[in-house]
Amino acid sequence: MKRASTRFWLCASALVLAGPTQFAVAQSAQKAQTSVQRANELTLARLRPGRSTVDESQKIYPTVFWTFRIGTWCLADPCQKLTMVIDSDFGSKRINKTRVEPTEGSGETCTENKDWYWGTGKGLKVCDAKSKAYSIYGEPSSVSPSTKNGQPLELLYYTFDWAGPDVPQVMEVVCTAPKDGTPGRVVEITWRQAASNEND
């Protein structure tokens, strides 16, 4: 898979704490969500693709963003050991896509950034159990197995077109695959405009 992060060490401590019993509970919870009503999502890291701008993101997170390439902005959070990558329109700086993934610590001291929130509006965050995605959003539109550097992964793909024309977003949740009695964990969340709306 193209966008899957190769850094999974941040979730490792959470994985080793989950034994076979917890894995069985997580499986049962996940299966139980098939009949649960779906929930739509609007934001990731308090930003909404198609509505929020890079300037607004810099007001919410008042520190140094750096340009990865033209139209792409990055911000590292040493407190949570996460990186946020924002893709935007070149002219208006309207955000088209936001991605949150683990990053290695930079050695910076965790101070004013400790209150930053880089989860979804409904509360899903990197390192959460995969079953939490199901408990919040129900069954994904699709689930795709994949690997990256030998690491088994699963991509949960959610579309929210059923929620109406004001919710033209797509959410991709990358998780580690269950292994040796441990449940899958979220290692990356991407929140973007649906393809048909990206140039509106």
72-77, strands of its sheet edge to edge: 66-69, 72-77, 82-88, 95-102, 186-193, 169-176, 151-159, 142-148
Sign of CA dihedral 62, 64, 70, 72: negative
Strands 82-88 and 72-77: antiparallel
Residue 160 has pLDDT above 80, yes or no: yes
Residue 123 has pLDDT above 50, yes or no: yes
**7 near 102, Cβ under 8 Å?**
yes
Range scoring the smallest mean pLDDT among 63-67, 92-96, 107-111, 195-199: 195-199
The DSSP element (H or E) to which 179 belongs, if any, is none
pTM, to two decimals: 0.77
pLDDT of residue 147: 77
pLDDT of residue 200: 43
Q: Binning pLDDT at 50, 70 and 90, where does residue 136 land?
A: very high
Q: Which of 193, 179, 160, 168 is nearest to 49 (CA)?
A: 193
- CA distances (Å), origin 196, targets 15, 56, 168: 37, 24, 8
Mean pLDDT confidence for 11-23? 46
172-198 as b/e: b if 16+ CB within 10 A: bbbbbbbeeebbbbbbbbbbbbbeebe
Q: How many CB atoms lie within 10 A of CB 28?
A: 10
The DSSP element (H or E) to which 48 belongs, if any, is none
What is the Cα–Cα distance from 155 to 174, expressed in whole angstroms? 5
